[in-house]
Amino acid sequence: MADFSGCIILSLIWLVSLILARSILRRSKRTSYFPPSPMALPIIGHLHLLAPIPHQALHKLSIRYGPLIHFRLGSVPCVAVCSADVAKDFLKTHETSILNRPFLINVDYITYGSADFLFAPYGPYWKFMKKICMTQLLGGQTLNQFLPIRSEEIRRFIRYVLKKAKASEEVDVGGQLIRLTNDVVTRMTMNYRCSDNEEEADEMRKVVSAATELTGKFNLADYIWFCKFLDLQGFGKRLKETLEKFDEMMERIIKEHQEARKINEEAGNDYAPKDLLDILLDISEDESSEIKLSRENIKSFIADMFAAGSDTPAITIEWALAQLINHPDVMKKAREEIDSVVGKSRLVEESDIVNLPYLQAIVKEVLRLHPTPMAVRESTESFTINGYEIPAKTRVFINVWAICRDPKYWENPFEFCPERFIGEDGKSQLDVRGQHYHYIPFGSGRRVCPGTTLALLMVQTTLAAMIQCFDWKVNGGDGTVDMEEAVGITLPRAHSLVCVPITMLDPFPSL
């Protein structure tokens, strides 16, 4: 009997040991599936490690933990991709698993419940809008139609700077570039110029600026579960006020367009679309359209245009001028190229850019050093990369800023050197449209930025005109510009660039 009892006890011990061993083995295996991770804190996870500037902090962590890092923002599982090789695995091999954007409370509210294009989930609506963007809204024919608008607004900007140069006065370069890009976008989208009515213009800029700022703000409610129903940062009131103002502005402009369209229709006139809003209204009224656009879809697409089409090009040009001031030899070489192709009797035009490879190289180098720092996706299914498991519902941060500094692909990656983009044939090399995974300033794959062509046209032509017409000096210090970055989804400068322009053309071309 004793022997029998002993056998039972031994069997129980063996069974418990087996269960514990299997549990430990399962846990160790599961842990080993995830990429390397720093030590997390309770509740906040790794939030404390991302200060003060997230893309720089993740780059520093990648030096210690490798190019693929697993971390938690509160209760949200995340991975950071900090090298070109790993980025290719995500953006090419497993692209279909990360085609969604994560749900963010502020963005969802500002875009009428994710009714826009940029943040919409991947699906029939997103595919339809992508096709419309590439063929109608931002296609070559439409952009050519708006060439006179871009040319006129750049000339208006140059006239303003010339006035300041003659008076030897400083120019708030960042502020004036935002005005320029805002005017281009509002005229392209709604046939409306912000600067016609200064009071109304200021109100529109404030609304657009507030909306852009709020979409980029870090909201604790997105990451910490018990904050979901608490407005600890006071975003609720600001979101409501901003959307109400934007909605009121858009409703007024849409009604004006609809009245003009009705008058033309009753008069029997052929009404060719004058702006992007007209194109969107045409699509929404087309009974045969495969997707019916709602009023919210239209308004949120216009919001996308403001957010992506105004802020980013202006910031890129501002970074470019800052780099040129700090590298006068590059500025001189660019001006000599422009003078040899364009001359000094007329202003540089968009059609000249194809013959200015060094200018193109400068812009590419600026986009390498100062891109939109991170592309954010969310996995829709589990998959494995380099032996590591990436579960569904994981937030994926593609650290474009770090990838464009990957020393495996870039010699002296932190130095400003446009010559790296000039080939032996003297032409500008390396496309910006996401085909080379060590250089993805506009993203890559299906969710690559649809406004790439428009952004390049604005940045290259405006910068060329600024180089051709003026030299730029900063007052005080040693005459150089600091390169400190601020927190923001579009990589703004920490300090606005303020310069004194000096006229380089005499006589000045007719504007």
Q: Residues marked as binding for heme?
A: 449
What are φ and ψ of residue 350, in 5° steps? -55, -40
Contact 301, 117 (CB under 8 A): yes
Nearest in space to 497 (alpha carbons), one of 331, 320, 367, 365: 320
Nearest in space to 452 (alpha carbons), one of 435, 428, 466: 435
Nearest in space to 86 (alpha carbons), one of 50, 36, 39, 26: 36
Contact 472, 503 (CB under 8 A): no
Running DSSP on this structure, what letter comes out for residue 428?
Answer: B
Running DSSP on this structure, what letter comes out for residue 92?
Answer: I
As a whole number of angstroms, the distance between CA 367 and CA 432 comes to 9
- Cis-peptide, bond into residue 52, ω within 30° of zero: yes
Return the residue matching tokens 């009974």: 287
Torsion of CA 155, 456, 308, 381, to 10 degrees: 170
- Cis-peptide, bond into residue 313, ω within 30° of zero: no
- Token readout for 2 is 């004793």
- Token readout for 389 is 């498991």
Nearest in space to 434 (alpha carbons), one of 180, 193, 118, 88: 88
Q: Please give the sequence-ordered ranges of beta strands (E in DSSP) within 47-144, or none if there are none.
A: 68-73, 76-81
In sequence order, what are the residues at sequence separation of 6 or more whose Cβ sits closer than 8 angstroms to the Cβ of residue 44? 74, 224
